Amino acid sequence: MILNYTYINILIAIIFFFTDLNMNDDWPDWRGRNRDGKWNEKGVLKKFDSDELEIKWSVPVSAGYSGPTVSDNRVYLTDRINRPATERVLCLDVQTGKSIWTYSYDCDYIGIGYPAGPRASVVIDGNRAYSLGAMGHLFCFQKETGDIVWRRDLNKEYEIRMLTWGIAATPLVVDDKLILNIGGSDNAGILALDKYSGKELWRNLEDDASYVAPILIQQAGHRVVVAWTGQRILGLNPENGAIHWQQAFNQSRMVINIATPVVYNNYIFVSTFYDGSMLLKLGDHDLSVSLVWKRAGKNERNTDALHCCMSTPVIQKDFIYGVDSYGELRCLDLQTGDRIWEDLTAVKKDRWANIHFVQNDHNTYMFNEHGELIIAKLSKDGFQEIDRAKLIEPTTEQLNRSGAGVTWAHPAFASKHVFARSDRELVCVDLSEK
């Protein structure tokens, strides 16, 4: 009997060892399951053991701005090889980083600045994986095998008015639809395709694209797609693309809205590098919006409220926290946009300096462009750093800061682990409480 119990205990231990990464939450989309930057798992580290995190595994990858996604024991990522000019979609084992499948296709970057690689994250929905490249190559894969279900060349088919930095907005899955912010011609600014076949379902808007991924919200008993184009922010009917509401937000110098809109209670907050921030109030009982405030400074160095570049802000307890144009971490009053405080310790001050915010319970995990992971508490009283540790070394392909490099891709937090990429490697680190 003792032998049997010992055998059972050993068997249980083995099962838990090999399924540890499978028993928890996934990160199947841009900024997590609901595109809201929230990591809901319990039992994760509240403080690090050392100044440098222990790598569980590391695998070589090529350059790219796209963040990894995680689903059903697999990690998905896109990158680019310069010679020959090729974009790739990678599927890796979450336990070991071992390659499961890879798909490559020829892709010359024509007229795209910062050509380090693809921007959009791979979206996992059911048994499918959707990948959108910087030149508009769209694929639907069978997620386990990498077999192509369907493919579209959106740039060729829709004559996209190509953005300075290429197509970046991760597609949004709503029911049977894949909704894209591409800035296509002939009223194809926003486009919906059948996610099973790739067939067009609807198109709307003559707007230019932006780099902003659309999101899905609930308003007045309806589901609404929030899309931020080069000219305005809109609430769209996901069934047919009809406009429920809109608010102009023109870009004074160039389209450079990248940060995802933040939804908090019945408010939507948006921010962009040159033209500041705007807060909208959603109608409680009808599909409408009203402008609460819009603020902008004189230029990128003399800013007001927030001038975010890539970093999507976070809102907690009626206060907005975000990274300004040169890396200034700021707290704003939600109702007015007035600055409450500013901190210069979370990331070094530099143009476009970046931090990705992920909320876990009462703590905020902050991944800065230096490859550091910070655990902090954000409040109206200030930035309270609990701990920070090196996660990954920056690389220079995305941006060369006098040889220092950056890590601009958004990490994935899943199965009590963090997955982060540079232009040379993808790393996995265990963040579970010991």
Contact at 8 Å (CB) between 33 and 418? Answer: no
The Cα-based distances of 147 to 66, 86, 112, 128 in angstroms read 21, 18, 29, 10
Contact at 8 Å (CB) between 20 and 392? Answer: no
pTM for the model: 0.93
pLDDT tens digits, one per residue of 379-400: 999 999 999 999 999 999 999 9
What is the predicted pLDDT for the residue at 250? 87
Contact at 8 Å (CB) between 355 and 37? Answer: no
Contact at 8 Å (CB) between 294 and 276? Answer: yes
The Cα-based distances of 351 to 100, 128, 259, 306 in angstroms read 38, 38, 16, 14
What is the predicted pLDDT for the residue at 20? 45
What is the predicted pLDDT for the residue at 24? 66
The Cα-based distances of 136 to 36, 127, 158 in angstroms read 25, 22, 10
Structure tokens, 282: 């959603």
Report the Cα 257 to chain-centroid distance in Å.
13
**Pair type for strands 339-343 and 177-184:** unpaired
Give bridge partners of residue 272 from the DSSP assignment.
Answer: 276
d(C-alpha 167, C-alpha 82), whole Å: 18
Which of 125, 43, 67, 54 minimizes the C-alpha distance to 412? 67
Which of 412, 424, 434, 388 minimizes the C-alpha distance to 39? 412
Question: What CATH number is given for 2-430 in this structure?
Answer: 2.130.10.10
Residue 111, amino acid: G
d(C-alpha 80, C-alpha 140), whole Å: 18
Write the DSSP string, 277-313.
EEEEEE-SSSS-EEEEEEE--SSSSS-SS---SSPPP
Rg of the chain taking only CA atoms, in angstroms:
21
Residue 284, amino acid: D
Which residue ranges of the chain lie beneath pLDDT 50?
1-3, 5-23
- Can you give the residue ranges of every domain in the chain? 2-430
d(C-alpha 408, C-alpha 428), whole Å: 17
d(C-alpha 160, C-alpha 27), whole Å: 30
Which of 429, 338, 426, 352 minimizes the C-alpha distance to 390? 429
